[in-house]
């Protein structure tokens, strides 16, 4: 993990996470220059490195300021941008009343270097609006917590996401932000940038096994698929839940819904990092898609009471991890299905034995 490589000023944030394999390298470039963004770049070289032209990156024309050396080693690149946070509530006629949008490109962000943990491979981007006339953020903040992984495993805290060494976690947190209405709900806009020939697909998987995330049976994945062979290139995966506590429990569950995935070529992600890597022709040369992920129960009271919201997602390369039935659930199913089967077999044997013994008491009739 490198913070602002080649730059000694902490007034801006760029965090480079590099995972090196025997013959390839995975690059995650997180930044809050503009809207919070992560660039995902996979290379076919174990020695590829990130290059940053800081003078150009911080200029009004940042195109070409970020690249991977050697450029020929890049086999796949994409970006995920967290652009806006919407706040809304339901009116009397069941209509949604929206308050002024929080544009994350206009936020002021703390130095990530203060929260960077090289041992735990974690960092936190914390920000507040540059102007806050309503004072909603006077005692609160918005944050994106980043975690990298060195091996496969499962997170301890809910929602206990299953991860691999090819993935990282991002956690969206609203803490102490005063709602602007009764029963306010929130929605996060997520924008993806993909190369030509790659399409985003929203998948939903349901399972009866909720051992690791109680009462949550649905997992959603936003998967980038190659249009040539339908292979998965990258993903953003999350459970259909958020939580209203710093130490989440089942009863802290906040309902999470995903709006329809849509083409967003009409709007470009406000991120200097996206333009610095992909160039000025993002909207025409690359595919831009957007999805809104909303949080809140039927009445939106959970956040209003606790003023805390946490939503976690996994992002990485290749196929998203798939949960299988845990040993505990397999054991329960084996007992539940096996016991009646054993009783049926034993009962049949007893009946057959009793019938034979009963008829053997009679002498044959001549």
Q: Please give the pLDDT value at position 94.
A: 62
Q: Please give the pLDDT value at position 63.
A: 94
Q: What's the domain count of the chain?
A: 2
- My answer on whether 346 and 299 are in the same domain is no
Q: How do residues 226-238 score in pLDDT, each as one tens digit?
A: 988 889 999 999 9
Q: How do residues 112-126 score in pLDDT, each as one tens digit?
A: 999 999 999 999 999
- My answer on whether 224 and 343 are in the same domain is no
- My answer on whether 333 and 251 are in the same domain is no
Rg of the chain's alpha carbons, rounded to an integer?
26
Asked if the structure places residue 322 within a domain, the reply is no
- My answer on whether 352 and 294 are in the same domain is no
What DSSP state is assigned to residue 259? P
What DSSP state is assigned to residue 268? -
Asked if the structure places residue 118 within a domain, the reply is yes
- My answer on whether 231 and 351 are in the same domain is no
Averaged pLDDT, 252-261: 91
* CATH number of the CATH domain containing 110: 2.70.98
- My answer on whether 312 and 341 are in the same domain is no
* Structural domain boundaries, residue 281: 2-317
Averaged pLDDT, 326-341: 65
- My answer on whether 304 and 344 are in the same domain is no
- What is the DSSP pairing of strand 253-258 with strand 198-206? unpaired
Average pLDDT in the chain = 89
- My answer on whether 269 and 122 are in the same domain is yes
Asked if the structure places residue 323 within a domain, the reply is no
Displacement of CA 84 from its chain's centroid (Å): 16
**Dist. CA 253–CA 301, nearest whole Å:** 12
Q: Please give the pLDDT value at position 277.
A: 96
Asked if the structure places residue 50 within a domain, the reply is yes
Q: How do residues 276-329 score in pLDDT, each as one tens digit?
A: 999 987 877 888 999 999 998 655 577 888 899 999 999 999 999 988 755 665
Decide: helix, strand or coil at residue 272.
helix
Averaged pLDDT, 29-48: 97
Asked if the structure places residue 264 within a domain, the reply is yes
Asked if the structure places residue 76 within a domain, the reply is yes
Averaged pLDDT, 234-256: 94
Does the structure show a pLDDT above 60 at 82?
yes
Identify the H or E element spanning 282. Answer: helix 282-285
Asked if the structure places residue 112 within a domain, the reply is yes
- My answer on whether 340 and 285 are in the same domain is no
- My answer on whether 247 and 179 are in the same domain is yes
Tokens 């932000």 locate to 177
Asked if the structure places residue 161 within a domain, the reply is yes
- My answer on whether 246 and 360 are in the same domain is no
- My answer on whether 14 and 34 are in the same domain is yes
Task: Using pLDDT thresholds of 50, 70 and 90, give the confidence band for residue 11.
Answer: very high
**What percent of the chain lies above the pLDDT cut of 70?**
90
Beta bridge partners of residue 316, listed in sequence order:
167, 235
pTM of the model: 0.88
């Amino acid at each position: 993990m490198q913070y602002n490589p080649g730059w000694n000023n902490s007034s801006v944030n760029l965090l480079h996470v590099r995972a090196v394999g025997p013959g390839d390298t995975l690059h995650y470039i997180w930044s809050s220059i503009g809207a919070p963004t992560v660039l995902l770049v996979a290379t076919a070289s174990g020695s590829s490195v990130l290059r940053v032209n800081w003078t150009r990156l911080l200029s009004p024309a940042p195109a070409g300021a970020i690249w991977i050396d050697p450029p020929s080693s890049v086999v796949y690149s994409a970006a995920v941008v967290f652009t806006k946070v919407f706040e809304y509530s339901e009116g009397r006629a069941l209509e949604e009343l929206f308050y002024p949008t929080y544009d994350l490109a206009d936020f002021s962000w703390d130095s990530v270097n203060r929260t960077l943990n090289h041992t735990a491979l974690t960092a936190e981007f914390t920000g507040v609006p540059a102007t806050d006339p309503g004072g909603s953020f006077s005692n609160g903040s918005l944050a994106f917590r980043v975690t990298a992984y060195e091996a496969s495993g499962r997170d301890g805290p809910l929602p206990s996401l299953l991860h691999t060494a090819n993935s990282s976690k991002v956690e969206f947190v609203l803490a102490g932000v005063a709602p602007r209405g009764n029963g306010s709900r929130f929605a996060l806009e997520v924008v993806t940038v993909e190369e030509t020939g790659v399409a985003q697909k929203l998948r939903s998987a349901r399972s009866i096994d909720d051992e690791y995330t109680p009462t949550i049976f649905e997992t959603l994945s936003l998967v980038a698929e190659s249009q040539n062979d339908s292979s998965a290139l990258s993903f953003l995966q999350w459970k259909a839940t958020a939580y209203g506590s710093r130490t989440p429990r089942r009863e802290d569950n906040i309902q999470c819904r995903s709006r329809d995935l849509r083409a967003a070529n009409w709007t470009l992600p406000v991120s200097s990092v996206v333009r610095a890597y992909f160039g000025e022709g993002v909207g025409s040369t690359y595919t831009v898609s957007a999805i809104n992920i909303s949080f809140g129960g039927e009445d939106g009271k959970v956040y209003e009471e606790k003023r805390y919201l946490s939503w976690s997602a996994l992002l990485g390369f290749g196929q998203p991890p798939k949960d299988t039935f845990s040993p505990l659930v397999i054991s329960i199913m084996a007992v539940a299905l096996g016991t009646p089967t054993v009783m049926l077999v034993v009962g049949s044997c007893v009946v057959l034995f009793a019938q034979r013994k009963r008829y053997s008491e009679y002498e044959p009739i001549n």
